[in-house]
Each structure stands twice: as C-alpha cells, then as structure tokens.
Amino acid sequence: MTAAPTGVPDTGGIRLTDLVRAELTKIRTLPATWIVLALTLAADTLLALPAATDVVRIAGSGGRTAAITQFGTVLLAPVYAFVAVPVFAAGGEYRGGQVRVSLLAAPDRNRFFLAKLLAVLGILTVAAILVVLPGHLTRRALGGADVAEATGGLSAEVTAYLLLGLVAYGFAMLVRTVVTPLAVLVVLPVLVSPLLRGLSPEVTRLLPHEATLSFLGMPEGPHLALDRPVGLSVVVAWAVTFVGAAWAVTLRRDG
C-alpha cells in the first residue's frame, strides 16, 4: 500500500455490451463452469458410444433388455450437469454478497437482469454445441446416421440444453441459491416423474424433462408422448415462465 489513486479516463457511457461482457467474465472465471462443462462433455460423449453401437443394453421389464436409445432419461442425463452452469451464474450472485457489488455496478435492475440473461444465453448456446457435438459425431461415425438426421438431432439437442438451462437459470435467480434448483431438477425426473406417471400421465408429460424428451423424439412410453412441436412449446413455456418470474422478482425483491 503505497501510492495515491490515479485518474481514470472517461471512455463514454456504460453500454449494455459492457454489462454483458462483465457477466461473461463472471461466468468464465468460475471454476465450477469449466468442471461442469467437462463433466457434461465426457458424459455426453461416453453415452454416445453405447447409443451408436448397441453394445450396452439395459434391463427392462419382464427380464428383457433394451437398447440404451430406448431410455431417453439416460441419454438426457448429461443435461443435468450442464444446467449447473446457469445455476452457478445466477445462484452464485448470492454467495459472498456479490449481488450487492453487481447492483452497485449496474443499478438499473432491468439492465442488470437483461445483461445477465444475454450472457447466459450466449454461454449456453456455445457450450451446448461444444458438449453435444462430439457425441453426435460419434453416433454418426459409428451408427451411420445420415447428415440431415444428424444435423436435425444436433440442433434439437442444443435447443433442449438451452431451454432446460434457461429453466434452471430462472429457478436459481428466484430461489437465490445453487442447491435447490439442481436438487429439484434432478429429483423431478428421477423420483417425482416415475411416481406421478402412473397417477396422472397427462400432468407428467407436461413436466420439463418429459416435454423435452417428447421434443427430442424419445418419450418414456407412448402414454407420456407429446407431438414434438407440442413438446417444444411446453419446454419453451417453462423457460419463459421461470425467466419471466425471475425477472419480475429481481425488479421487486432486489430493487
């Protein structure tokens, strides 16, 4: 501690892009982001091997075995590591009181939320392509899917990752923690959905996980299936609802 402060030149007003860059830096400089992306990439790529070759089969009902491609939940499992990226981006604001620093830097809550949302969208899009692409290439190389089929599958899976990521992001902003959204999003398909589907398949198929599986064309049984466009619409509705609620609550609660 030696010198007095020096002047800082005025380089013009603060733009939305400045806030987005700051949010991107926040996400990029969290070690958890890279750990989670590495886990997702590894899981997605490893699952592509049995999916393409059918060398691993899973025990089903009646002692029969089925190809892993019949189990959409297993193939979609890596997304629940992936959604930790937006969860840490949002919930991390409330660790160490960073949100107060953020709001001092960006006092306009609308701009703060919008910048964060845009940064998360950008990261999720790029990251989803990077973690999903190797698995698709593996499936195409080993499974012989044609280019159109592979491309369509890739864009659908990236869209699914993006939308579930937005659901998780909105959820984390609402509850201001990283644990609850991750726990709930994992418990829903693993515990709640299997219990609920026998009682009310009409409701179960509207849950984010099941609607995503329908959108990807791999529903967990015909009674849970929605048309693919309907599945997409349902997941979009979940994402819009969670992000919209988080935005409204941020304006009210942190305002």
Partner 1 sequence: MIEVARLTKRYGRKLAVDDVGFTVRPGRVTGFLGPNGAGKSTTLRLLLGLDHPDGGTALIGGRRYRDLRHPLRTVGALLDGAGPVPERRGVDHLAWIAQSNRIPRRRVREVLDLVGLTGAAGQRVKGYSLGMGQRLGIAAALLGDPEVLVLDEPVNGLDPDGIRWVRDLLREYAASGRTVLLSSHLMAETAGTADDAIVIAGGRIVAHGSLDDISAGHESLESAFFALTGDRRGLGGRGGRGGRGEW
Q: What is the contact surface with partner 1 in residues (CB under 8 A)? A: 1-15, 18-19, 21-23, 25-26, 29-32, 92, 95-98, 100-108, 255
Q: Which is nearer to partner 1, 1 or 199 (CB)?
A: 1
Closest to partner 1 by CB, 140 or 176:
176
Q: Which is nearer to partner 1, 18 or 233 (CB)?
A: 18
DSSP 5: P
In the bound complex, what is the minimum distance in angstroms from residue 144's beta carbon to partner 1?
A: 43
Residue 236 CB, nearest approach to partner 1 (Å): 30
| Residue indicated by tokens 């935005």 | 247
Residue 27, C-beta contacts closer than 8 angstroms, at least 6 positions apart: 33, 85, 88, 89, 119, 120, 123
Neighbours of 104 (CB within 10 A): 8
Closer residue to partner 1, CB minimum distance, 26 or 209 = 26
Nearer to partner 1, 30 or 142 (CB): 30
Q: Are 82 and 168 in contact (CB under 8 A)?
A: no
Q: How far apart are CA 211 and CA 223, in angstroms?
A: 12
CB of 67 to partner 1, least distance (A): 40
Closer residue to partner 1 in complex, CB, 244/255? 255
Helical H segments across the chain, by residue range: 16-28, 31-53, 72-76, 79-82, 84-91, 98-105, 109-143, 147-175, 179-187, 193-199, 201-204, 208-215, 228-253
* In the complex, least distance from residue 39 CB atom to partner 1, rounded to whole angstroms: 16
The two three-digit tokens of residue 43, written as one number: 């899981």
Widest CA span of the chain, in angstroms? Answer: 78
Residue 75 CB, shortest distance to partner 1, in Å, is 31
In the bound complex, what is the minimum distance in angstroms from residue 254's beta carbon to partner 1?
8
The structure tokens listed for 223 are: 């009674």
Give, rounded to a whole angstrom, the gap between the first and last alpha carbons of the chain.
36
C-alpha 160/C-alpha 24 separation (Å) is 22
Q: How far is the CB of 119 from partner 1 (least distance, A)?
A: 10
